[in-house]
Chains A and B, each alone.
Chain A
């Protein structure tokens, strides 16, 4: 296992199209997070999963966004009817929940450009 992987690394899409990103966490990690990072900003929390359960969603996650983690393994983030404001780096991170916070390992991200 070489860490958290995200696919694709880059995505260019036309406004109004749907896009889906995939994240494969470190295999034994039960927590998985999605973040969005725009230019000049720090990552902003979107949502996280504990195994297959989605436990928290930020108000940044509009109705056009949906995330899943079937079987508690990989996760997908879908954006429907993309808008130019969705252009950003989408980061995935995973960690092992042991009752206290442990290090979150990040993937390299998927850079989305909406034209």
Chain B
């Protein structure tokens, strides 16, 4: 069984500041993918960033980057220069190499203070 744990139910950051969302996971798969999805209020989930477990280099997408620590099974998301549009629920997740169902954490509610 796969599990994903997000220990921060809510985070708050000032606009233009940097925030890090935490995520730990557990899986018996040797081949898997990790990802962060964003769910704005009343809108569909959108992929923010993904990481292949076999890659050592941390993924980056513009202001979004991850800190992937495979041995520690940790996958945190860093958002730089936070913007009001970043306010949303953020879900960390995991999928096995066989690409079956995605396993999500409970989410972190990110609040951006203007």
Contacts and interface: CB of A to CB of B under 8 A. Distances in A.
Interface of A: 3-4, 31, 33, 35, 40-48, 55-56, 58, 91, 93, 95, 97, 100-101, 103-104, 106-109
Interface of B: 4, 6, 33, 37, 42-47, 50, 91, 93, 95, 97, 99-107
28 contacts: A3-B44, A31-B99, A33-B101, A35-B101, A41-B106, A42-B105, A42-B106, A43-B91, A43-B102, A44-B104, A45-B103, A48-B100, A55-B100, A56-B101, A91-B45, A95-B99, A97-B99, A100-B97, A100-B99, A101-B33, A103-B47, A103-B50, A104-B102, A106-B44, A106-B45, A106-B46, A108-B42, A108-B44
Contacts of A97: 99
A40 B6 CA distance: 12
Contacts of A104: 47, 102
